Structure formats: C-alpha cells, structure tokens
Amino acid sequence: MNVMGGITTREWITPEGEVYKMEMARLGMSFVKVDKDEAMSDVGQLDLILKTKIELMGERPPSGIKNFKIKVSIPEGNIRSTFVSNSRQRILPNSDPSQGIIELTVTDVDESSALRRPITKKGTCSIFST
C-alpha cells in the first residue's frame, strides 16, 4: 500500500481483514499486533520525529524568502517517491534518483478561510470526517 505520497507499507492481514503486522521499510519501522499486557509493558521509547527527521546542512534562508531550492540526497530510494510534489514544492531528481532538487514556494495563509477550533461540524476537515 502506498501512503502519504510515497511511503510504501507492507501489511499482513487475516482473512477477516484484521491487520496483524505492518512494515514501513523506508522509515525503518515495523508494527506487530500484540496482546494488551505486552502492549502496555515497558518497551522503551521510539521518537518518531527523530527517526524520520531530515537533517539540514548549510545556511538557513533569510526571513521573508518566498521561493528557494534545496539540494536533496537520501541514503536509498527515490526522491520522487519519497517527497510529495504539489503546488508548494516540485521534485527534480538527478540522473541518480536518490539525489535532486526540491523547489519550494512559501505561500501566505489566509486566516479568514482557516477552520476555527474546536472543529464541531462533520465533514469540515478531511482528517476528522467519518
């Protein structure tokens, strides 16, 4: 299954449709269904942000910049399937698909069209709609 614009998962599913194992190889993560006691036991910490963060090198762009390019290199894989191309960023791979450039466009947020919290109306936000 391909999720979040390029992260591929591999899932093991019972005949009843219950997922009992899922792997996200690119992120180095594996999820396995366990009983409640094992799930609630002390297993240490996993910091998802540290596991998936992108290390930045070089100087930070000056404040107020609206367009810039970033050279990208990933240890393995393809930047076109790792990063999402949309109206705010465009992926330009090199001849080596694990390297390339991301062109970013920073857009201003229109506060008048933003949702107000708490979100109470169903269907207002695709993340929370049922």
Tens-digit pLDDT profile for residues 15-65:
888 888 888 776 777 888 888 787 777 766 666 666 666 677 778 777 888
Measure the CA–CA gap between 97 and 128, rounded to whole angstroms: 35
Name the phi and psi angles at 71, rounded to 5. Answer: -80, 130
Q: According to DSSP H, which parts of 1-130 are helical?
A: 36-40, 48-52, 79-82
* pTM of the model as a whole: 0.46
Residue 130 has pLDDT above 60, yes or no: no
Residue 77 has pLDDT above 50, yes or no: yes
Q: What is the residue extent of each domain of the chain?
A: 1-53, 58-108
For 82-110, the pLDDT digits (tens) are 888 888 889 998 999 889 999 988 887 77
Contact 17, 25 (CB under 8 A): no
In whole angstroms, what separates CA 1 from the centre of its chain?
14
The residue type of 30 is: S
User: Omega of the bond prior to 75 within 30 degrees of 0, cis?
Assistant: no
Residue 3 has pLDDT above 70, yes or no: no
